[in-house]
Amino acid sequence: MFTKLVPKQSARTVYEIDIQQLWNQGKRGIITDLDNTLVGAKDPLATPELIVWLDGVREIGFKVIIVSNNYHGRVSAFADPLNIPFIHAAKKPTSNPFHKAMELLGTSADETVVIGDQMMTDIFGGNRLGLYTILVDPITPKDEGVFTKVVNRTLEKVALRFMKK
């Protein structure tokens, strides 16, 4: 099971990901988490830096969708001004939101990247379907909910220790 928690790649932020290299590898769609991946969990809107990054990603040719476990109001308030489709209340790491996202993107598993800050939801969910997973550091860990902080992050620490052995 722990191998399913290991991302194909990791980066401190989305800005450090070599998007052009992913395109050259045949990736065409990006499924991204929202909270603590693109912006802090309490940040309602995209930063100017993120808007530039998203424009560059789409300029290369990528299709982007947000898949979040958060509620509709939170995700739509963020995604709608950016014209980014989204799936809210996703129940990651279940496979349904990832399948639905690929259907909306028009991509296959081989063409799809998942970017997220949690091994237990984003990475595990993407790896189960054979997607290319990228783990980023959480933007503001102090803003995480109790379940994420206590359960997910604790399990991540155990998995990381296991993987280092």
Contact in structure between 7 and 123 (CB atoms under 8 Å): yes
pTM: 0.88
Domain 2-164 fold? Rossmann fold (3.40.50)
Residue 153 pLDDT more than 70? Answer: no
Residue 1 pLDDT more than 90? Answer: no
Contact in structure between 37 and 14 (CB atoms under 8 Å): yes
**pLDDT, averaged across the chain:** 90
Domain ranges of the chain: 2-164
pLDDT tens for 102-149 read 999 999 999 999 999 999 999 999 999 999 999 999 998 765 555 555
CA dihedral (102, 107, 109, 113) positive or negative: negative
Dihedral class, residue 69 (left if φ above 0, else alpha if ψ from -120 to 50, else beta): alpha
pLDDT tens for 10-60 read 999 999 999 999 999 999 999 999 999 999 999 999 999 999 999 999 999
